[in-house]
Amino acid sequence: MVVNVKIGDEKHNLSELLDWLNHILHATFSQLEHTCSGAAFCRLMDIIHPGSIDINKVKFTAKENADILDNYSLLQEAFSKAQIKKVNILKTLDLLTWFKDLYDHNVAKQKYNPQEGFVEQEVVSLKSSREFEICRSKKEEQSSRLYSPVQTKYLNQKMLNVKRGSQESFFRSPATMCFIRKYSSSTSPDAGSNFASSKDSLVLGQKCREDITAFCSQTPYCLYLYHGVELEDENKASVLLLGFFDKVTGENKFRLLDVLHPEEETADAICTCIVEMLKKFRIPLINMAIFYSNFPDHEGLLSGLKLLKPEIVSLCGLTDMAEVFHSGVENMEFSGLILNLITEIYKHFPTFPAALQTFLEDVDCSNFRNILTSQCSLFWRIIQKITLAWSDLEKYFGSLDADEKSICRLLSDPKIRLNVLFLCHALQPLCDFQENIDRGVSVTQLLQDASQLVRFYTTRFLRPKAAEFFLRRGKTSLIQDTVGHLPRGEVEVGKQAADFLLQRSEELTDCLETFHSSIISFYATVTVNIIERLPFSDSILRNLSLVLSPGKKLEVTGKIVQDLGVCFGVCSGPENVSLLTDEFLEYQFIDGGDTQLADQSMEQYWKTELRIMGRTSGFGKLIISLLALPRTLKKEIIFEQVNDDEDDEITDDDDDYNCDANDVTWNYAVNDGYTVGEMVWGPIEGFGLWPGLVQSWDSKRPCGSMRKVIFFGNRMLSEVQADDLLPFVSFAKCFCSNSFATVMAYKDAIFNSLQVASRRSRMFFSPETDSKDELLRVMLDWAFGGFEPLGPEGLQPQSECNGIQNSQKRRKYIINIYYQMVHEFLENKRNIQEFCLSCGSTPVEIIHPLFEGMLCSNCKYNFTETLYRYDEDGYQSYCTVCCSGMEVILSYCVDCLDILVGEGTFDQLKNVDPWTCYLCAPESSSRALKPRNDWSIRVQEFFANNSAMEFEPHRVYPSIPANQRRPIRVLSLFDGIATGYLVLRDLGFKVEKYVASEVDEESITISMVNHDGKITHVEDVKNITKQHIDRWGPFDLLIGGSPCNDLSIVNPARKGLFEGTGRLFFEYYRLLNVMKPKEDDSQPFFWLFENVVFMQTQVKADICRFLECNPVLVDAVKVSPAHRARYFWGNIPGMNRPIIASQNDKLRLQECLEPGRTAKYEKVRTITTRPNSLKQGANDAHFPITMNGKDDNIWITEMEKIFGFPKHYTDVKNMGRLQRQRVLGKSWSVPVIRHLLAPLKDYFACDEVPLK
């Protein structure tokens, strides 16, 4: 294929030729026959004459004759393009030798200048223009090197420039070049324009353009427009940037789009430029999630963009707080006089005494209004210093001529001084916020600070309820309503202003009303202006960080996610809102909690989660939009990050032939310490890269930069430099198809390595046949696809520890910590409040509600789950101090008694019967175990606030006038024995309709007999539909408590919330959503849901998220003789108020007994459906009652009184004692339900005299 070419007499050694070929192509050819497909020669030709071959058309895995002929046809076309005339070369060895000589003659012999390596852009041409002849000197020694590192490096850089030479023509404007030269942190004076030229080609090249298009065609992005950016020669322009979250790397990326010079500096002209630039890059406007610009008319700019895409989150207002500052001051009564005073003071600055000049800032006083509108922090510092130097200023101006007496009058006016003191207080939060912006604080933090800023100002002049109502609704018109304003004297003015008011009260009496209206005007104006500039409502601002925080995902509500979805345009309709909520709940339920590793960043966490969610996930799109929020709005930091990203691109180009082997491994320099068990690719002499596992040294630690690697397949051990290893995730780059096809050991190694990788990634393959080849094919497809869905994380070595810890060692460790805590408390006199009383650790979160001391976060949850868990004897299953314990007496374990009270305490107390515990007899406690005097109140507070989840307040219904109230309509799910109806009639409610869903026949019979058939019984709750609700309703009250069998931690075989009877909660939730009224419906609607306290924290959190509120804990022991702690969720007013017994409530067991019977206890434990739950003490050994000198159990009629039911309430249908106890054990306590439903009397009609 070459004319007049003669192969040199010197014959190259075959192994040397193959080494040279593998080096140039980064290949692993071990035999000459592997090059017969022609693919290798096509790649060589593309290197020698770039652009002569379309690499995309080369068939690298060619095996059929037709594919091989296609490759050689491409090669022949390349020769024609290079004007190399045809000649016949029959042997492959001769062809390879010819290519080697051709390469040396045209590429390798060119001199390399390091200073010019990055700037030469010409295409490497063949040395002869038309035809050439290779003549090699016979004097050249055969042992000479076939290639040199310098020549290779030069070639690689030349190829980089060759490849990109045709790309540089893409829109390189002079303004863009100026911007890169000025703001490129990597450009040094020594490099001059050489490096910048290379960077320019990358920033503006075709590859960069294609990358941006590929990323942003499916990814939400943030668009930045920085106006008035200084370029070279004092010119200014607008810089257009694009930011997005890269799901592949888990990093935020920034890209420069262009530097704009519109014909007119108007919002319309710039908007047109933006749209045209996005079209040029083929970036869809629909994916623009966030927009920021410092353009003066950013509102006009944003309105133009929103015509094309309405749901754009604008951050422009965040940096516009100076205007807020200005508007607030301008609305004050004395703002003009204050500005005049400051101006006059600084006109005399040069004549001030030296001490006064040093104290006051030297500023340009020509126009203080400009300072007010653009430099709020400077203005605040000026007035703050003037207030401190006020007396000195009065003395100075008082000593001047009469011409300056006007300044003295202003300084001596108490009204002006009062207003200046007020401004010092009121402007500080705004200035702090502005300083955070100037420092480059993250936008997420700025949004949280903005929420605090709004709350600061609203609480200064609004009544608490009005402030809360305004923050919830966000309507600025509510601020203007004077009804919600604080009265004069209660509006916050700051300590200095308040003290001044007291000192000069007589002089200021006449102006107090003016001053009050002035500061109200300031606060209202500032608050309204801040609200109008914020992109989200207050509730979203406060909860925004929770959505992105993996450790707090259980605290996020569906409402917050829905609101964010609407703001970012993820939800275009009601069906999308529902789908978004479902995806969010699915994400919450995965792993049941925090799955973030301790050393894992938030971005890396979401990188993994987003891969699992997939591209079409609405919730995933929302998360990417949130991750695209700028880390800062400060342009200098943004510009630096843009250039850093471009620097990374220069070194991270992953073309197969743009760097040598060392450069390739340099890309993975962060993996310097390959850990034991990590899967890697390592070199085997004569075979190229081979899959292997990093092994441990004898010392169990890596020996410097060397790694011991065992290779799959041949099990060969080798010591390899870490720089020569590649991570196994680089499978597509390191895999050698030729070795796979010809070397059986290599094929086995690939199979074995993929088996290990699939086990680590928990991937299970189901090939169509049982053959090994078919399984290998499926695994190869998975490997070439990037090991989805877990990717590189799934290939990491599993921990040597299986997570099961030795409980005895752990207990011994905790005991040692316990002893140290007691020693610190008793001997070193440290405060017990510094320690967690349950485990002895020092990082604490909340007080221990029973004893002096604290609880850490882990023990807090343990305490929540174990406090109300009782054994068969009716006493605590776990220790109330440490929440554990192998052996417990009453409520205390061996370790806590022996360590906290004294050695041998447990053995002494075992022989005391009965023993009165420390809570009931606090005087008997000693040493480190001190009961709290108010422990009963603390327990209520603990359970009322044990969830950090924050929800929107329930809708508040105003009370209805008595003459407008109508009878109540009720739907009761899981109705039981109609406790709800009984309580409503006892309270005197007129019940128009009471529909009950119950499946237990005995309970239905009891309800029918006791209430004369006034209850409408319907089918199973699972069969109730919206059509039924429409036919029976509308309802005013929904009550119910789903079965607790599968939720209570007392049941070891519990199935949880999503299996068994636990799923019935979702039936309640479903019907609640069906029945809830619309926003414009003013008719009150209330609901109540009940379940056990001793459920798992996770189950409780799930219920809270669905019902979107926290429960209140009510224990029937406060109003009856029996313990019965229950959680209640609902929107009934006053649910969390303290429960107080009425005169009719029976608080002691004796009050419920028949004549002639004596109670041995005042209170009994929780009565359940289990017969022995009526007995007390250990092993159900004690009867609670004596009669005629004999022990006896509680009778059913007495049990009815304990629950608050009328005597013989369950005496129907010839039911036996066990049947009656069973229905009572599942029922509600009547006094508790009466306590909860009583507030409804303000909304619904009642009888004048309650029925009894």
CA dist list (Å): 411 to 336, 419, 423, 1157:
14, 12, 16, 87
What secondary structure letter does DSSP report for 961? Answer: P
Q: Quick check: bond before 1250 cis, omega within 30?
A: no
Place of tokens 């402030």: 467
CB-CB contact of 893 with 814 (8 Å): no
* CA-wise closest residue to 966 among 1244, 1191, 570: 1244
Which segments within 667-803 are labelled E, that is strand?
679-684, 688-695, 706-711, 717-721, 726-727
What is the Cα–Cα distance from 614 to 603, expressed in whole angstroms?
A: 16
DSSP 510-552: GGHHHHHHHHHHHHHHHHHHHHHH-SS-HHHHHHHHHHH-GGG
CB-CB contact of 888 with 879 (8 Å): yes
Radius of gyration (C-alpha) of the chain in whole angstroms: 40
What is the Cα–Cα distance from 1054 to 1057, expressed in whole angstroms?
A: 9
What secondary structure letter does DSSP report for 1041? Answer: -
What is the Cα–Cα distance from 1042 to 1057, expressed in whole angstroms?
A: 10
- Backbone φ and ψ for 1229, nearest 5 degrees, come out as -80, 125
SS3 978: coil
CB-CB contact of 35 with 51 (8 Å): no
Active site residue 135: no
**CB neighbour list of residue 113: distance below 8 Å, 6 or more residues apart:** none
Strand order in 1185-1187's β-sheet? 1157-1159, 1185-1187, 1190-1192
Pairing of strands 1086-1092, 1125-1130: antiparallel
CB-CB contact of 991 with 1020 (8 Å): no
| Identity of the amino acid at 1067 | E
Which segments within 236-303 are labelled E, that is strand?
236-246, 251-260, 288-293
What is the Cα–Cα distance from 31 to 93, expressed in whole angstroms?
A: 11
* Residues constituting the chain: 1252
For residue 89 the two structure tokens come to 């070369």
CB-CB contact of 168 with 204 (8 Å): yes
DSSP 94-123: HHHHHHHHHHIIIIITS---GGGTTT--SP
SS3 239: strand
User: 161 in the Ramachandran plot: left (φ > 0), alpha (ψ -120 to 50) or beta?
Assistant: alpha
Pairing of strands 991-997, 968-973: parallel
What is the Cα–Cα distance from 228 to 222, expressed in whole angstroms?
A: 20
What is the Cα–Cα distance from 83 to 105, expressed in whole angstroms?
A: 16
What is the Cα–Cα distance from 1009 to 244, expressed in whole angstroms?
A: 68
What is the Cα–Cα distance from 768 to 641, expressed in whole angstroms?
A: 49
What is the Cα–Cα distance from 463 to 484, expressed in whole angstroms?
A: 6
What is the Cα–Cα distance from 476 to 161, expressed in whole angstroms?
A: 59
DSSP 1050-1070: T-TT---TTSGGGGHHHHHHH
What is the Cα–Cα distance from 998 to 1042, expressed in whole angstroms?
A: 11
What is the Cα–Cα distance from 43 to 930, expressed in whole angstroms?
A: 82
Q: Which of 424, 836, 1044, 1104 is catalytic?
A: 1044
Where in the sequence numbering do the catalytic residues fall?
Answer: 1044
